[in-house]
Structure 1
Amino acid sequence: MTETKTETIGVILAGGLARRMGGGDKPMRAIGGRPILDHVIERFKPQCDGLILNANGDPARFAAFGLPVVADSVADFPGPLAGILAALDWTAQMRPGVQWVASVAGDCPFLPRDLVARLHDARAAEGAMLAVAASAGQSHPVIGLWNVALREELRHALVVEDIRKIDRWTARYPLATVSWPVEPVDPFFNANTVEDLAEAEKLVALAG
């Protein structure tokens, strides 16, 4: 049985430098005639009670998308954990009644439309503190559900312990893992290379 919808802020992690594509912002690359980020927002926004974008540098480059752009809240800690912490900090300050943040990668154009609901259901059913998505037997650590109450523990892990890998940190807590089918399209397909972009073009029509 699906539980009552839990208030959740969504964060799109768009901090990567796309080195395998020659630099720039991966989410701004186009598939199906639209930026990848446009596809991500379309699928993710209806599932959340507010959406923010985690990105460093000049936020003006994302102005057309109409989302608050939140930079990392700790300096010089590149990587998705810093972006997740920034989202937890933003939520604690701007939406203090909200206890949960869902994160997705900015280069995943085919996200499932039931992502947040299924992560919450699994977390509640298993009594977990965190939840993460998986497909084809592989966990996707950046696509998950995070408890705002853990933000100071995450800050300590980043700043004091120099932990960068998400799964090294999540291993400390009860974690629910939710798997999605990969047919007709892996919903967590991400566009890392020029070849991936070409593949994504073929998948757009299948993704629905």
Structure 2
Amino acid sequence: MLAGGSARRLGGADKPGVRIGGRPLLDRVLAACAGARTTVVVADPRPVPRAVTWAREDPPGGGPLAALDAGLRHTTAEHVVVLSADLPFLAGTAVRGLLAALPGSDADGVLFTDADGRDQPLVAAYRVRALRRGLAVLAAGPGGLTGLPLRRLTAGLRLARIADPVASFDCDTWDDIATARARIREHGHVLDEWISAVKDELGIDLDVDTGALLDLARDAAHGVARPAAPLTTFLVGYAAGRAGGDPQAVAEAARKATALALRWAEEAEETAGTAGTAGTADAPSGATGTDGAAPGATAPDAAPDAAPGTRPDAG
């Protein structure tokens, strides 16, 4: 992962540390490649949520090819994913898709293209042997790798392409950052983004059925009382933690709590259905209604065709 650029279009800001959805860009990209056997970050060390290997190009700031060469020195893998540290929407599924596409092709690398069809060589999987061969040729030239653009390397590689405008979206400008921050708050993304941010903040690596938990919260709110929703989901999490904390434990605790909330709702409906007849079936002889009329008498303002037991507000 190349994370040591100068970010000139951001006025020299610390781009890997810029927050999208409350998380630094670097942390978001690290989360997308959490399953990697080795993760090498080419940059000065900083606090990150998981263990990585730090590397630095020589000289520091020597450009993307020098940084790539520095990173490759820390891996013996046959295939490598090369990423920039400014990809707010990169997901683990996209990374796995790149790696899965490479072995079955005769290409030296598989990269994503953006919304405009442009190659994104820093969102790609490569054969390490092809990268090292190309870097060695370029390093033998005047000045070595320092200051050379990435296209000097990729121009000599056979590349396959996958269109993915979301995973390849990178934040080069403040407008890009504003766009990313707005997108994660859109209706279709905000819950997933929030759950990912909370898990990252709390150090939780657990995939659960969020739909089931939302259904539980709804049933608790409707069947019991609105404040029961957050309290119930908290208790489900606590119970699941005591039971081992895996997705199955969460699912089982949620199932039990949902069933209980539905039983409460059923009791409330039964009570509401019988409340209108309570105290009338066994009324003592001579008892009168609330308006003083004799039993069976029709109130003056009652609708003549009202069905027995119909509520006045029934639709």
Map 1:1-80; keep pairs closer than 5 Å. Answer: 12-46=1-35, 48-55=36-43, 58-59=44-45, 62-65=46-49, 66-72=51-57, 74-75=58-59, 78-80=62-64
Aligned residues: 182
The answer to whether structure 1 residue 111 and structure 2 residue 90 are counterparts is yes
Quote the residue 1:154 is aligned against. Answer: 135
**Paired residue type of 2:152:** R
After superposition, the C-alpha distances for 1:95-114 in whole angstroms (9 at most, x for unaligned) are x3x21211111011111322
8 Å CA contact 1:132, 1:143 repeated in 2: yes
Give how far 1:127 is off: 1.2
What amino acid maps onto 2:138 in structure 1? A
Paired residue secondary structure (2:122): strand
Residue 81 of structure 1: aligned partner: 65
| One-letter identity of the residue aligned with 1:141 | P
Partner residue of 1:168?
152
User: C-alpha separation between the residues in 2 aligned to 1:147 and 1:14?
Assistant: 21
Code of the aligned partner of 1:149: R
Give the unaligned 5+ runs of structure 1. 1-11
Q: 2:109 aligns with which of 130, 155, 164?
A: 130
- 1:177 CA displacement: 1.4
TM-score (norm 1): 0.76
TM-score, normalising length: structure 2: 0.52
- SS of the equivalent of 2:66 reads helix
Q: What's the counterpart of residue 8 of structure 1?
A: none
| Partner-residue secondary structure (3-state), 1:45 | coil
Greater Cα radius of gyration, structure 1 or 2: 2
Query: Percent identity at matched positions?
Result: 30
- AA aligned to 1:80 is P
Match of 1:202 among 154, 161, 182: 182
> Shift of the alpha carbon at 1:77?
6.8
CA distance in 1: counterparts of 2:152 and 2:137, whole angstroms: 14
- Pick aligned residue for 2:173 from 193, 196, 207: 193
Distance 2:22 2:60 in 1: 34
Q: Which runs of 5+ in 2 are unaligned?
A: 193-315
For residues 60 and 10 of structure 2, what CA distance do their matches in structure 1 show?
A: 23
**Over residues 26-61 of structure 1, what are the superposed CA-to-partner deviations in whole Å (9 max), with x where a residue is unaligned?**
010112112111211112223x22212111xx42xx
Q: Distance in 1 between matches of 2:168 and 2:42?
A: 19
Match of residue 144 from structure 1: 124
Letter in 2 for 1:139: D
Name the counterpart of 2:253: none
RMSD, aligned α-carbons:
2.3
